[in-house]
Amino acid sequence: MSSSSRGLHALASRRAVALTLTVLALYASSVAQALAHNVTEGDAGYIQEIWGVHIIPFMYLGAKHMVTGYDHILFLLGVVFFLYRMKDVGIYVSLFALGHSTTMLLGVWFGWGINAYIIDAIIGLSVVYKALDNLGAYQRWFGFQPNTKAATLIFGFFHGTGLATKILDYEIASEGLLANLLAFNVGVEIGQLLALAVILIVMGYWRKSPNFFRQAYTVNVVMMSMGFILMGYQITGYFVAA
């Protein structure tokens, strides 16, 4: 490889790492403001005031939630971090989408609510779990590898429950509820695909760097730390609010 090619790869690698760390920094900011599964005041007011079927607005709200939901994006980043084949990416992302969609729809429809602090602490745990998995911690500590597909599905259930809990807080109108929820879920999946596309493009450039694995270790440690911060914040909030 020529020196110019190595230089371009090194530059792409640095940019990829910088972008990844920027996402982590934004996530840390969202944690500080307790925005893990929050809905902005404007969106909350809209949800509370509307009546009837509103397909496009709910699709927009769903997509907005996903692309601004740093907990979702971090977990998704962790899931695809070491997946190189699009077939594997499709399987894992589909499992996460299945879990997320199921509990979000059923949770709102049947009114299954869980304390927001508890569910968001579990979502923080999902980020910690995946970062440790990427670091190979379970094999070193316990001598076995947990079922990664099952874990992705199960944590998807928790991510969806977190959103359902927040939506229930705003008492969405029953008129047109099913259609609006389905539209919201479609929007979530569109947002997930957009986020995934950006992640895969960045990872594609980053993996070409000879420093990828060393940098990947650092990024996963930072990601794990962000998960612990979210867990601590939410656990503290639970006891303070009690």
Statement: residue 221 has pLDDT above 50 = yes
State both tokens at 168: 């229930």
Statement: residue 4 has pLDDT above 70 = no
| 8-22, 127-141, 160-174: the lowest-pLDDT one | 8-22
- pLDDT for the residue numbered 35: 46
Q: How confident is the model at residue 31 (pLDDT cuts 50, 70, 90)?
A: very low
Do the Cβ atoms of 71 and 27 come closer than 8 Å? Answer: yes
DSSP readout, 207-242?
A: TTSTTHHHHHHHHHHHHHHHHHHHHHHHHHHHHHH-
Q: Which residues contact 33 (CB under 8 A, 6 or more apart)?
A: none
State if pTM tops 0.95.
Answer: no
Distance CA 105, CA 204 (A): 33
Maximum mean pLDDT: which of 69-73, 150-154, 233-237: 150-154
Do the Cβ atoms of 59 and 184 come closer than 8 Å? Answer: yes
Compute the average pLDDT of residues 156-173. Answer: 85
Measured from the Cβ of residue 32, the count of other Cβ atoms closer than 10 Å reads: 10
Closest by Cα among 122, 136, 140 to 231: 122
Statement: residue 146 has pLDDT above 90 = yes
Do the Cβ atoms of 97 and 156 come closer than 8 Å? Answer: yes
Q: Whose structure tokens read 């997930």?
A: 192
Give the torsion through C-alpha atoms of 114, 116, 122, 123, to 10 deg: 120
For 37, counting Cβ atoms within 10 Å of its Cβ (0-12 exposed, 13-18 middle, 19+ buried), the class is: buried
Closest by Cα among 214, 69, 185, 62 to 127: 69
State both tokens at 229: 């911060």
**Per-residue pLDDT tens digits for 204-215:** 989 988 889 989
